[in-house]
Structure 1
Amino acid sequence: MTRGRWAARARHVLWRALSPLVGGVRIGGRVPEAPMVLVANHTSHADTAALLAALPPDRLPVLAAAQDYWFSVPWRRAVVTALVGALPVSRTGPGAYEALLEAAAPVIAAGGTVVIYPEGTRGQPDTPVATFRSGAQRLAADLGVPLVPVGISGTGRVLPKHGRLRPEGVRLRFGEPLPPERCRAVDPEVVRAEVQALRDDGSAVPWPDSRLFTWLDRRSDRELVAAGFLWGVAEAVSWPIIAEMFLVLVGAPQHRRLGRVATSVAAGSVVGVLAHALAARAGWRFPAPLTTPRMHAAARDQLAASPYGVREQAFNGIPVKVYARAAGEGGTDLVRFGLATAVVRPARILGVGVLIGLGARWAAPLMRRRTTEHVVLASVVLAEGLHRVIRRWR
């Protein structure tokens, strides 16, 4: 494999790996075989990343990049050369097309793809595609390769001009190639209209919500609040999974209902702790999985020093059910213990809810489509966290 093919493969792997950061890339239509000249609309720097993630590496894609912007500053030149494999192209001036032809010819001769944005600059999302220049069509005709239109949608929301990255997801739709012998005869407006039609027809590249998200979305507020309350109670009595995990698994995908869910979990936790303490005082002992003798000893010592010792639980990793049992069995003043619990548990759970809400709101478009993956990843992280906590308290 030549150096150019290795570089193309490395770029493809890189941008495919990073594509979840933009919410993923969805492809519609058939990707033609190279060599070819590919033309697309341009609203964001994310356009190129999406194309490089979508195009198979054997198409050897190379971007025609504006020389006055990308190659005028050393760090930009280094970035665009390494990560995109760009060709420096003058947007205006005498000899601009001849320079493009000279730079593109070796790429096409090697069986590659030259990517051109005929608008010449980034436009605004959700507005008509700007006027196309004719250079890409001339290039395809002169080099004897087809011109392939591509419509890109979503990148203007993923990474808007002077904006922040959001994982909205990107759609690319490939159109039918225009034979080289027709490229000169076709008006650039026809090509522009084709690209805009490909961009605007999102129904042609469907992107459904995940089944798990759809199931959660159909649950009523009452169902989610009840489930959160019961989770909070169960975790305070015996359930080994922390109360905040309900916010991660259910509240994050349903971020608009996260406040109600977090409140219900906090309320359930307080009720569960007090019920557990009263039951322990009456001689009931519930199973306490994933706890250690050192945890129980530490909780007893902290509550013996003060009934407000439960506040240590917010940061030390000991499950709250351990404190509930220790308070009941150790003769702790349950009134003051209950008051402390009613402050400490909601403060921690609602605080975590705020942090989750900030992230979930940003990641909402991605979460809709990747709820199952989110649950799996969160479960793996939780398992590792529990392992570390238990090892610490052995």
Structure 2
Amino acid sequence: MIRLIAFVVYMISYLVYSLPTLAKMKKLHPEMPVAERDRLIHQLPSKWSSTIMKITGSKVEVKGQEFLPEGPVVFVCNHEGDFDIPVLLACIDKPFGFISKVEVKKAPIISSWMEVMNCVFIDRKDRRSAVKSIRDGVEKLKSGHSIVIFPEGTRSKGGPIGDFKAGGLRLAKDAGVPIVPIGIKGTADIFEKNNRLVRPANVQINICQPIEPHLIREKDMKEIAADVRNIIISSFIKEKKAS
């Protein structure tokens, strides 16, 4: 209970503390190089997330940072729990926005940070709006920003990795950027498996080799979705055999 209270207090107070920085980020010159702009914007969310992970008492091991390419990518991750985003923000050495449900837009300050970070909000109940959001995501990628997607569509809460929906992966195909598979294991042990209390856990992040644009173009998106899922699952099987 103490960790949960500390997490909530820190989150609320830090969001208020972040307001002056948020205002500065909104005023960054539009002609600033994308990589530099994203790096500046990413600094505070990354710091915030790192402290959150320290509050949970969790240990995070990251493998495969050397596979992160230059330029924009679509990170494709399995989705274990609510702490997936903080873990990625804290540990992935490459700025990114992410796909989020449109309801998050109602969250004060958080939604403003997400807009600055070039996140994409999708209304799954409105097909026309969802299609427009995907197009916006493609434009962000073409402009040089990276995006994280969770193609399972829901949290596995530590269970088996679900099937990957192909729709979001079209971002990579339409924008002509690589897909970087990322496996996440252990975040559900922080929260979802503890009756919604925050407890320490061991978290593993496996960054896998990118799938290049020409390979994405040559395959059906459902086949790509299955391939990415298998790559992520295999990364943990290799880890287990190695140990």
After the TM superposition, which residues 187-226 of structure 1 pair with which residues of structure 2 at under 5 Å, given as runs? 187=223, 188-199=225-236, 201-203=238-240
Q: Does 1:122 align with 2:159?
A: no
Correspondence for 1:64: 99
For CA contacts below 8 A with separation 6 or more, give which structure has more relative contact order: 2
Equivalent residue runs for 1:136-175 within 5 Å: 136-160=168-192, 163-175=196-208
CA contact (8 A) 1:132 1:189 kept: yes
Deviations, residues 317-376 of structure 1 (Å, cap 9, x unaligned): xxxxxxxxxxxxxxxxxxxxxxxxxxxxxxxxxxxxxxxxxxxxxxxxxxxxxxxxxxxx
Give the Cα–Cα distance (whole angstroms) in 2 for the partners of residues 129 and 92 of structure 1.
24
What pairs with 1:43-82 in structure 2 (closer than 5 Å)?
A: 43-56=80-93, 59-67=94-102, 69-71=103-105, 74=106, 76=107, 78-82=109-113
Partner of 1:25: 60
| Secondary structure of 2:99 counterpart | strand
> In the superposition, relative to structure 1, how do residues 138 and 168 fare at CA in structure 2: closer, same or farther (>3 Å)?
same
Q: What is aligned with 2:127?
A: 94
Which runs of 5 or more structure 1 residues have no equivalent in the other structure? 207-394
How many angstroms does 1:17 deviate by? 3.1
Computing the radius of gyration from Cα coordinates, the structure with the larger value is 1
Match of 2:46 in 1: 12
Q: Which runs of 4+ in 1 moved over 6 A?
A: none
Alignment counterpart, residue 211 of structure 2, candidates 175, 178, 201? 178
Cα distance change on mapping 1:15 and 1:82 into 2, 3 Å:
same
Contact 1:47 1:152 in 2 (8 A): yes
8 Å CA contact retained: 1:25, 1:53: no
Aligned length: 199
Matched, 1:134 2:170: no
CA distance in 1, matches of 2:228, 2:141: 21
Output the amino acid matched with 2:141: I
Q: Is the 8 A contact 1:151 1:197 kept in 2?
A: no
Quick one: percent identity of the two aligned structures?
24
Q: Give 1:128 deviation, angstroms.
A: 1.8
Task: Say whether the 8 Å CA contact 2:149–2:168 is kept in structure 1.
Answer: yes
CA deviation profile, 1:62-115 (whole Å, cap 9, x unmatched): 011111x423xx2x3532442694320233542355323332234323422100
Q: 2: distance between equivalents of 1:154 and 1:40?
A: 13
Cα displacement string for residues 120-165 of structure 1 (whole angstroms, at most 9, x for unaligned residues): 111130x221111112331101101001111000101012176111
Any unmatched runs of 5+ in structure 2? 1-27
Higher strand share goes to which structure?
2
Distance 1:4 1:178, change over 3 A: closer
Q: Of Structure 1 and Structure 2, which has the larger fraction of its residues in helix?
A: 1
Change (3 A) 1:38 1:46: same
Deviation at residue 27 of structure 1 after TM alignment: 0.5
Q: CA RMSD in A?
A: 2.7
Change (3 A) 1:155 1:79: same
Q: State the 1:205 CA deviation.
A: 9.3
**CA–CA distance in 1 between the matches of 2:60 and 2:134?**
31
Structure 2 residue identity aligned to 1:54: C
SS at match of 1:52: helix
- TM-score, normalized by length of structure 2? 0.71
CA distance in 1 between partners of 2:114 and 2:169 (Å): 26
Report the CA distance shift for 1:104/1:15 in structure 2 as closer, same or farther (over 3 A): same
- The secondary structure found in structure 1 opposite 2:127 is coil
Change beyond 3 A, Cα 1:70–1:155: same
Matched letter for residue 68 of structure 2: P
Q: Distance in 1 between matches of 2:227 and 2:175?
A: 21
Match of 2:4 in 1: none
2: CA distance between counterparts of 1:83 and 1:152? 21
Following TM superposition, by how much is the alpha carbon of 1:179 offset from its aligned partner in structure 2, in angstroms?
1.4
Q: Distance in 1 between matches of 2:108 and 2:237?
A: 32
Matched AA of 1:104:
G
